[in-house]
Amino acid sequence: MSTTTTETTTGVEHGDLRDSPSALKLGVFSFNASGGLNITTEPRKYHVSWEHTSAIARQAEKMGLEFVLPVAKWRGYGGETDFYGESYETLTWAAGIAAQTSRITVGATVHVPVIHPTFVAKAGATVDHISGGRLALNVVMGWYPKEIGQFGLTPADHDIRYEHGDEWVTLLKRLWTEDEPFDVDGRWTSAWSALSKPKPVRRPLLINAGTSPAGVDFTARHCDISLASRNALEGSDTFVGDIRTTAREKYGRDLRVINVAHVICADTEKEARRRRELLAENGDKVAADNFMDFLGIGSQSYEETLKLYRDYFYTSGAALPLIGTPEQVAEQMVAASRAGFDGLALGFFDYLDEMTAFEETVMPLLREAGIHT
């Protein structure tokens, strides 16, 4: 992998996610929205404010992590917590984070149906210039009817959403690279005499989280990173291998695969397990059920299945759970690397305090294991 660095206009050298020599790239996920990755009423310090979320980003960079990645939300899920009811718009937020950091890759997340590529090309290039070439763009097709409906739109059928995404990203890439005006008259996305300047410092990384056949194909064709959430490591080597094979054999492209994980780390395994139990005991059932219903999980017929999924969302946002002592958490992260994941996007219940402890107790073990520099 390249070890070159780019220089910002202020003369500060940095390398971003694509420059990192770490076998397992690490980032922080979903800390621009209320709830983070936990649909629970358990009390905590984590909250949505500029001071708090920007401090989390600065801490991530101080720790030597490679990226920060927000979620794009326009509407919460009700219940006592109204999970995701408060959130920062991510391109604006990313611009502020970029100005406060110098090395870490700064993510933004956009919904394809509600924002035109012409705007994203300009806004993305702006953030990329502020950061000196550190922008990563997570492209989401838009599936939650209540938030898409606020734009006067109805989500299209699943595979149609990816057809829209294909047109959308193709236009975005052209705006970031072509120097003469051009016309596009697509089924979903059109632009006339399209041109955007300045260009990004370097083409921003593109991310997608789809794991359906249509989602994998879209990611393999267009993106650099598959944010392929999987809440267990069993079978992950095949899962990751299939995604990479699609990209390589169908489109001749190399694709990194990053999983979403949630950390609950304590001095003893018993304490870590008890912390997890508290999150489940104080889970916001209404918000979790609303979330599952719109994901399609709510159509399941059996209450035991619903109970299991609720527990996942209460305790880890259905991400890969990393639970135990620092040694156990490090061992699980090594196992994720061996399963083929190129990185982990980490969530914490109380981000700032737990990230500080993670830096002191887990990061040295990852360096000893040779998976993170």
Residue 4 lies in a domain: no
The whole-angstrom separation of Cα 228 and Cα 236 is 10
The whole-angstrom separation of Cα 44 and Cα 36 is 11
The whole-angstrom separation of Cα 354 and Cα 350 is 6
What's the distance, CA 352 to chain centroid? 18
Residue whose structure tokens are 């059996």: 302
Supply the pLDDT for residue 303: 60
Supply the pLDDT for residue 4: 30
The whole-angstrom separation of Cα 208 and Cα 226 is 5
Cis peptide bond prior to 70, omega within 30° of 0: no
Return the amino acid letter for 9.
T
Q: How many residues does the chain have?
A: 373
Q: Where does residue 78 rank: exposed (0-12), middle (13-18), buried (19+ CB within 10 A)?
A: middle
Backbone angles phi and psi of 79, in degrees to 5: 70, -175
CA proximity to 259, closest of 37, 17, 25, 22: 25
The whole-angstrom separation of Cα 17 and Cα 65 is 9
CA proximity to 106, closest of 68, 139, 75: 68
What's the distance, CA 298 to chain centroid? 24
Supply the pLDDT for residue 296: 65
CA proximity to 37, closest of 62, 10, 73: 73
The whole-angstrom separation of Cα 302 and Cα 151 is 34
Residue 328, domain extent: 16-369
Residue 323 lies in a domain: yes
The answer to whether residues 48 and 117 touch, using CB atoms and an 8 Å cutoff, is no
CA proximity to 127, closest of 94, 85, 172, 78: 94
How many domains are there within the chain?
A: 1
Residue 126 lies in a domain: yes
Residue 114 lies in a domain: yes
Give me the tens of pLDDT residue by residue for the chain, a chain 373 residues long: 333 333 333 333 334 788 899 999 999 999 999 999 999 999 999 999 999 999 999 999 999 999 999 999 999 999 999 999 999 999 999 999 999 999 999 999 999 999 999 999 999 999 999 999 999 999 999 888 889 999 999 888 989 999 999 999 999 999 999 999 999 999 999 999 999 999 999 999 999 999 999 999 999 999 999 998 899 999 999 999 999 999 999 999 999 999 999 999 999 999 999 999 999 999 999 999 998 887 765 444 446 656 778 998 999 998 999 999 999 999 999 999 999 999 999 999 999 999 999 999 999 999 999 999 9
CATH number for 253: 3.20.20.30
Residue 6 lies in a domain: no
Supply the pLDDT for residue 27: 98
What is the dihedral angle through the alpha carbons of 245, 139, 283, 351, rounded to the nearest 10 degrees? 90
